[in-house]
Copies of this chain bind each other. A is one copy, B any other.
Amino acid sequence: MMNAPIRIAIHGGAGTMPKRLMTPEIEAACHDSLQLALQAGYSAMAKGGTAVDGVEAAVRALENAPMFNAGKGSVFTNKGQHEMDASIMNGETLDCGAVAGVSNIKNPVTLARCVMDNSEHVLLLNDGAEEFARLHNIVFEDDDYFFTQLRYDQWQKAMKKKITVLDHVDDKKFGTVGAVAIDAKGNLAAATSTGGMTNKLYGRVGDSPLIGSGTYANNASVAVSCTGHGEFFIRQVVAYDLHCLMTYKGMGLEEAANHIVHDKLKPIEAEGGLIAIDAKGNICLPFNTPGMYRGWMKSEADYFTGIY
């Protein structure tokens, strides 16, 4: 049994608010929330938990923080609802679980893990996923829990500007959350959770619940969680692309991750970023937006949080 160094990295979404709107109070609150999430994930593994436990704990903390677009604080759909997506993957076994379009689930990442652990399926949708959640005693919250004034105002603004425009939403607030980790046995895991796009229509789903696009983990290479304009991340199969560039092409983590974010995504105006941790514990957090809420922790005393 290995005793590798425990490490975790997280994101709270690429595409942060412009610097001119940022106040010292909001900035401090963001750093605090990121630090709490890192601590939650790190502690879970320090107590003997797996990398899966670590990423689940970190993403739960980010879902519970109202400032990020996942769990509490999720954006409003066109109908004034909250439809959330999440996924999780175990790099040791390649087991994975995901849910898309779920409402009233307090922690979608925990439901995704429940799908992974307690069903033979990978991806469950909407009320089917909620039915599965009830059978497994997953925690539900009423609509009020998910309400935040900021997201409501953003929705109202998007509605007013775009009320007759059916297929274009330009309020591209991301704020998806995610975590990647390596545990003491050297196993990798990744998880992602999101409330999707403000004012979204038609049950639109982005890359967050899609294994290979928004989330991927494989002990042979890397654990990765993505954030950005989801449609591009689906077309480019971003998360699995990182694995393939490392495994088939022999690129290192840094080279492969930067190649994807800056050379492949940036030229096609695919805004976003990713967080990744490789089998040796190297961490890479590239993004092509002005900022990405992010952080990593290598020990209780050695950690980083950043926004721009």
**What is the interface of chain A, defined by CB distance below 8 A to chain B?**
94-96, 100-101, 118-129, 131-132, 135, 166-168, 201-206, 210-213, 216, 230-231, 234-237, 240-241, 244-245, 248-249
| A to B CB contacts below 8 Å, 19 in the list | A94-B235, A96-B235, A101-B126, A118-B167, A121-B204, A123-B234, A124-B204, A125-B126, A126-B203, A127-B203, A128-B203, A128-B204, A129-B202, A129-B203, A132-B201, A135-B166, A211-B213, A241-B244, A245-B248
Q: How far is the CB of A212 from chain B (nearest CB, A)?
A: 4
In the complex, the answer to whether A126 meets B123 with C-beta atoms within 8 Å is no
Our pick among B118, B132, B216, B231 for the contact of A121 (Cβ within 8 Å) is: B231
Residues of B within 8 A of A128 (CB): 101, 201-204
Given contacts A125-B205, A128-B202, contact A235 B211 (CB under 8 A): yes
In the complex, the answer to whether A203 meets B124 with C-beta atoms within 8 Å is yes
Further 14 A-B residue pairs, CB within 8 A, beyond A95-B235, A96-B234, A100-B100: A94-B236, A120-B231, A123-B205, A125-B126, A125-B203, A125-B205, A131-B202, A132-B202, A135-B166, A210-B210, A211-B235, A212-B212, A237-B240, A240-B241
Residues of B within 8 A of A126 (CB): 101, 125-126, 203
Q: How far is the CB of A33 from chain B (nearest CB, A)?
A: 29
Given contacts A128-B204, A132-B201, A203-B126, contact A167 B248 (CB under 8 A): no
The CA-CA distance from A237 to B249 in the complex, in Å, is 17
The CA-CA distance from A212 to B237 in the complex, in Å, is 6
Residues of B within 8 A of A118 (CB): 167
Q: How far is the CB of A146 from chain B (nearest CB, A)?
A: 19
Q: How far is the CB of A138 from chain B (nearest CB, A)?
A: 12
Our pick among B119, B124, B240 for the contact of A212 (Cβ within 8 Å) is: B240
Q: How far is the CB of A172 from chain B (nearest CB, A)?
A: 11
Identify which of A96, A119, A131 gathers the most chain B CB atoms within 10 Å of its CB: A119
Q: How far is the CB of A65 from chain B (nearest CB, A)?
A: 26
The CA-CA distance from A201 to B212 in the complex, in Å, is 23
In the complex, the answer to whether B235 meets A237 with C-beta atoms within 8 Å is no
Residue of B nearest to A132 (CB): B202
Given contacts A129-B203, A203-B127, A203-B129, contact A122 B211 (CB under 8 A): no
In the complex, the answer to whether A244 meets B248 with C-beta atoms within 8 Å is yes
Residues of B within 8 A of A216 (CB): 237
Identify which of A119, A120, A235 gathers the most chain B CB atoms within 10 Å of its CB: A235
